[in-house]
Amino acid sequence: GAVVSQHPSWVICKSGTSVKIECRSLDFQATTMFWYRQFPKQSLMLMATSNEGSKATYEQGVEKDKFLINHASLTLSTLTVTSAHPEDSSFYICSARDQLNREAEKLFFGSGTQLSVL
């Protein structure tokens, strides 16, 4: 079945460095992908909606200069956490919808990326 691949699954980095997370739709095209953040024992918070070929739409309170989103193709969106700090440590999850099928079950989630900033 359709799969969303998210990479890496976990990353440890030093404070001040940048980290890139990739989200790929493997066998379907996705004009729209979503990036979520999840703190321990908390819910998923929508960070931004990634739109292929145009700028991402960020939710209120999310710094667009800190969380750079690029959606250059119909199968790939990237989230770059710039100048990461320990408070950015979190679980990041992407999701993508099969653009050819609007049905509810055609939204797929990646397996998530655990980011730890030292």
When the beta carbons of 44 and 74 are compared against other proteins, the nearer one is 44
- Smallest separation (angstroms) from other proteins to the CB of 43: 4
Query: Using omega within 30 degrees of 0 as the cis cutoff, is the peptide bond preceding 8 cis?
Result: yes
Kindly tell me which residue out of 81, 93, 96, 115 binds other proteins, with binding defined by CB under 8 A.
93
Kindly tell me which residue out of 81, 95, 115, 117 binds other proteins, with binding defined by CB under 8 A.
95
Torsion, CA 54, CA 19, CA 8, CA 58, rounded to 10 = -40
88: DSSP letter: G
Strand partners, 51: 32
Cβ atoms within 10 Å, residue 14 = 8
- Smallest separation (angstroms) from other proteins to the CB of 54: 11
Interaction mask 53-92, other proteins, x per CB under 8 A: ----------------------------------------
Report CA-CA distances (Å) from 96 to 51, 79, 103: 11, 14, 13
Does position 104 interact with other proteins (CB under 8 A)? The reply is yes
